[in-house]
Chains A and B, each alone.
Chain A
């Protein structure tokens, strides 16, 4: 049972490049989330989804887009990467919003 899987684990981009982070869960969870974690800032919610085909903005959505075409996958896109987006990105999922979240092991992204 893989749980929540994030790919890639590490990536280095140049300013202006685009990329997509993939999150896959095999627990049949309805809710999925993307967070970023920066030193001293804690976890901040970027976007989330309450079911297949739905997305919503979190606390820090600017510069990111998401899609949830399949229930098990939640994609996070950076259209034009900026150095301020250097961070560790975590994906998480839960059955419903009031239930505990299960996290992937993170993607470390550096924008030069």
Chain B
């Protein structure tokens, strides 16, 4: 099993729809989790941290399921500007940070 695995997509979703994607990780000792957004030919930018209790930031909701070892990202009322690649990041040591390869999202007008 890969350390961090994401469905590469692309997910083609009509504007206004809800979309969700998961990221699985293999190391049960993982400590911290994040979702980043990366636009084409740009640097990754932090979207949100992921906590065991789940967290929400506007239209975005992130969840952590430690028992099944995955994190999820839900985007509600999707906008054209949400089109990007979404990277999940898992830390299981303070110097062991694993980036997923990303899930591409295309929001269709």
Structural contact, B87 and A43, CB atoms closer than 8 A: yes
Write the nearest CB–CB distance from A6 to chain B, whole angstroms: 9
Number of interface residues of A (CB under 8 A): 24
Check A105 for interface membership: any CB of B closer than 8 A.
Answer: yes
With contact pairs A42-B102, A43-B87 given, residues A101 and B43 touching in the complex (Cβ less than 8 Å):
no
CA distance A96 to B97 in the complex (A): 11
CB-CB < 8 A to A97: which residues of B?
Answer: 91, 93-97
Structural contact, A56 and B95, CB atoms closer than 8 A: yes
Q: Out of A40, A100, A105, which one reaches B43, CB within 8 Å?
A: A105
Nearest chain B residue, comparing its CB with the CB of A96: B94
CA distance A65 to B64 in the complex (A): 36
Structural contact, B42 and A105, CB atoms closer than 8 A: yes
Check B101 for interface membership: any CB of A closer than 8 A.
Answer: yes
Known pairs A31-B94, A48-B95, A97-B95; list 10 more (Cβ under 8 Å): A41-B101, A45-B97, A88-B41, A96-B94, A98-B91, A98-B94, A99-B32, A101-B46, A101-B97, A105-B43
Chain B interface residues toward A at CB < 8 A: 31-32, 34, 41-46, 49, 87, 89, 91, 93-97, 99-102
Chain A interface residues toward B at CB < 8 A: 31, 33, 35, 40-43, 45, 48, 50, 56, 88, 90, 96-106
Instruction: Please name 15 pairs of A and B residues whose Cβ atoms are closer than 8 Å in the assembled complex, sorted by A.
Output: A35-B99, A41-B101, A42-B87, A42-B100, A43-B99, A45-B97, A88-B41, A90-B43, A97-B95, A98-B94, A99-B32, A102-B46, A103-B45, A105-B43, A106-B42
